[in-house]
Structure 1
Amino acid sequence: MFGRNKTLNEQQAETVTRPEREGAKNRPTPKRREQEAARKRPLVVTDRKAARQADRLKRRESSAKMREAMLTGDDRHLPARDKGPERRFIRDYVDARWNLGEFMLPVMLVVLALSFIRLPWAQLSVFVLVYGLLLVAVGDAILMWRRLKKRLAAKFGADGVPKGGAMYAVMRAFQMRRSRMPRPLVKRGEYPA
């Protein structure tokens, strides 16, 4: 603290006399003010246009990585709602089974076509198809979640059932298989172990 500053010759002499050790830092510890000066950045960037372009480029890259992860199932770049082994297990279980909810959209197209026919039998069939399929699909989703919850508890423990897992599984079951994201990675019948 009260010592004199070393001259350049003395500093060079010290580095020459000390041999370099493997695994060691082999340089003096930088002063605090030097480290703080190296870390300083302005709070508001002076070139806002360049900062906006850099931010846009970062977002575009992360979006491309996320899109690629949605297609390949890479867990590192998936969105937060799809990350984790529990969510992966739910996706694989739902994708491995036939779900009645995934047939809702095609049936609704038939119902839409039948609703334009003004005959009594057509109106009755529309009513039965819509409400019947809806009730059966909801019942199927409830049974699916009960079975899935038991499997999750067996594999990941009692606290292995993720919060919101039921809605995640049901919403995936009600989507047509081709339109599911992340893409299904298992074939039908290949239930996760």
Structure 2
Amino acid sequence: MPAPWTRRKSTTPPVEETAPAAPAVGKGRPTPRRAEAEAARRRPLVVTDRKAAARASRERLREERGRTRTAMETGDERYLPARDQGPVKRFVRDAVDVRRNVGEYLLFAALALVLVTFVVPPEQALYATFALWFAVLAVVVDCFVLNRHLKRQLTARFGEVPVGSVRYGVMRALQIRRSRLPKPQVARGAQPR
């Protein structure tokens, strides 16, 4: 028995050797000079066809973004992003836009209360902090009420509450009305479409 560190011999049959091919006499042409070889390898870094394709792609994306921007302002369903399309999302947007939401005023209240803390003495600034916490609590309660309201309306109109639609409405309610996208299409106090 051979030692474990030795190598075994191959069990494949030996390959028959054939006569070597005749060496090539020459390549049939002279060796190019260095300048000629470099000139042959040189090509443009960016092919003009690629440039034209990239330009067309950028133009197409610009047009698509323009259509999407216009749709966000006018409410055109065809060009809205996928997250905003469909009758359920339109109904949720309208249901949020017809009511006054406490969340849309939170930013203004917070800014005013922060400015008040710089003006008043420190003992009275504590009341501004309590007022800010009260405003946050009011927003949470308003979002809870909106959540129940949306669930009830969606069940009555569509038979079920689609996943994510209530959260979509609550997030919209927390935005300032003028900055909402897609822009509100109904007036306050009107009926949702």
What is aligned with 1:5?
none
Aligned partners of 2:50, 2:191: CA distance in 1, in Å? 52
Preserved CA contact (<8 Å) 2:92 2:166: no
Amino acid at match of 1:164: G
Q: Pick one of 148, 151, 154 that aligns with 2:150.
A: 148
- What's the CA shift for 1:153? 1.0
Aligned partners of 1:191, 1:162: CA distance in 2, in Å? 21
Q: Tell me if 1:55 matches 2:60.
A: no
Amino acid at match of 1:146: R
Aligned partners of 1:60, 1:136: CA distance in 2, in Å? 42
What is aligned with 2:140?
138
SS of 2:191's equivalent in the other structure is coil
Identity %: 47
Preserved CA contact (<8 Å) 1:69 1:75: yes
List gaps (5 residues or longer) in structure 1.
1-44
What is aligned with 1:162?
162
TM-score, normalised by the number of residues in structure 2: 0.72
Aligned partners of 1:122, 1:176: CA distance in 2, in Å? 29
Aligned length: 147
What is aligned with 2:97?
95
Question: CA offsets, 1:140-192, max 9 Å, x none?
Answer: 1111111111111111112xx23222221111111111111101010001132
Q: How does 1:58-69 map to 2 (within 5 A)?
A: 58-69=60-71
What is aligned with 2:181?
181
List gaps (5 residues or longer) in structure 2.
1-46
Preserved CA contact (<8 Å) 1:145 1:166: yes
RMSD, aligned CA: 1.6
Amino acid at match of 1:170: V
Aligned partners of 2:181, 2:57: CA distance in 1, in Å? 26
TM-score, normalised by the number of residues in structure 1: 0.72
Q: Which has the higher helix share?
A: 1
